[in-house]
Structure 1
């Protein structure tokens, strides 16, 4: 597939929705538990995790929603991100298995945002949205040999990767405070209780998070208030600026 690509209608809506941004601590909570991704974040953004994510993710949304060739941008932004993790294994941000897992955390957050904030997707809609996510992944110019072909295969891959590849190492432990307590951007306003509740089950296990009923209530309240707020606001308010027409 050519790098000249534009997200389909089904992907553009949730990807350009502010609710996706509100679920990003879920994605980042998993990323800091991946030895290679954690090492890269600790090396290149040790004290500014969310400033780094703001730049990277808003650019990601912009390129997906416009007719832009993403391949050279992705390569230039990631070519220098290389080194060794704490286990002595060499990493490079463009290695397909590493890039795929990071991408997968965003797909998981995208789907979870729909379930949390609405509108909920049917299974058929999830399958179609994932198909468009696959086109999005291929537009980056990274090998798709490991890319799960269907939504069902993706969930199997993601469950297995989270169970077998994630560990709380020294880099992840050093980044955990920032990951769970965002200090800038839209996620700065999130209640800490809601951030704890939105974490993936594997992240809760490894980070020692035991959400109380108050945490789950905080996330439900956040979702309800957000839905009401967007319902009475102009439609463009819900859109990320980089995704507006």
Structure 2
């Protein structure tokens, strides 16, 4: 596979990105994205995230999955995703300008998906070797180039990416208002899904809210918890690690489950079209 070819069944990304166990990571990627000042401001100024949270998340996830699993159409789909962002621009509170298609900003959004996939695999499926992490990073470069955005902000290799990631978490990301709103569900509770009456949701939501807090806060990087002022005790961490270990113990039985349970629709469609991951 060369960098100009789309990802396919020979990639680790195909094997894991559409795995439904990735959903257990929670909103890690979305929150990380919104902690970049320019990206958080773009969502604040232009998105329906605040008024139609579930709709926004659904619209965002589908095109990304379609880019990964698009096969021969990946570049076409990726450019369409890019073009959604052409008019997302404006002014930061300090008077500087932002644009969603700034290469560094666009790459940060992409990098959060890469981080979430690696974290999800290692937490809920299995450890990755360094060579596998390098392979996944090289595949992420191919995936990013499907968008047709300048790759000047993309680190050269896995080692450079690790240095980039460390610097971003330590020096660049902030508790932007958009990220705080997104994680506010941890304390305020999830909003009622569409078509669920508010009165009914008040009755049935407590267990959902408890699980949402556990999954959301547990899946965050410690630096994110620190910046967003999210309490997480040693006992919480022990419970989370037991939960993750329990999921990993299901690995032997996982292949026996129906594919509709194991993979998201975009992945299943790609497997039917181009073959299963090898």
Alignment size in residue pairs = 243
2:137 matched residue in structure 1: 130
Rounded to whole Å, the distance in 1 between the matches of 2:52 and 2:261 is 27
Give yes or no for the alignment of 1:192 onto 2:213: yes
Where 1:87 maps in the other structure, the secondary structure is coil
Rounded to whole Å, the distance in 1 between the matches of 2:131 and 2:228 is 34
Give yes or no for the alignment of 1:64 onto 2:48: no
Where 1:88 maps in the other structure, the secondary structure is coil
Deviations 1:141-184 (A, max 9, x none): 11112211211110100111122211224444334314886656
Where 2:58 maps in the other structure, the secondary structure is helix
Match of 1:79 among 61, 77, 86: 86
Larger mean CA deviation between 50-59 and 101-110 belongs to 50-59
Where 1:91 maps in the other structure, the secondary structure is strand
What RMSD over aligned residues (CA atoms) do the two structures have, in Å?
A: 2.7
- The 1:221–1:47 alpha-carbon spacing in structure 2 relative to 1, beyond 3 Å, is farther
| Bigger Rg, structure 1 or 2 | 2
Give yes or no for the alignment of 1:6 onto 2:27: no
| Normalised TM-score (structure 2) | 0.77
Match of 1:20 among 19, 22, 28: 22
| Normalised TM-score (structure 1) | 0.86
Which runs of 4 or more aligned residues in structure 1 lie more than 6 Å from their structure 2 counterparts after TM superposition?
Answer: 1-4
1:239 matched residue in structure 2: 263
1:174-189 correspondence runs (5 A) = 174-178=181-185
Rounded to whole Å, the distance in 1 between the matches of 2:57 and 2:157 is 27
Rounded to whole Å, the distance in 1 between the matches of 2:65 and 2:26 is 13
Rounded to whole Å, the distance in 1 between the matches of 2:78 and 2:69 is 15
Rounded to whole Å, the distance in 1 between the matches of 2:20 and 2:123 is 13
- CA apart distance, 1:24: 4.2
**Unmatched tracts of structure 1, length 5 or more:** none
Deviations 1:6-26 (A, max 9, x none): 345211011111122332421
- CA apart distance, 1:207: 0.6
1:42-61 correspondence runs (5 A) = 42-43=44-45, 44=47, 45-61=49-65
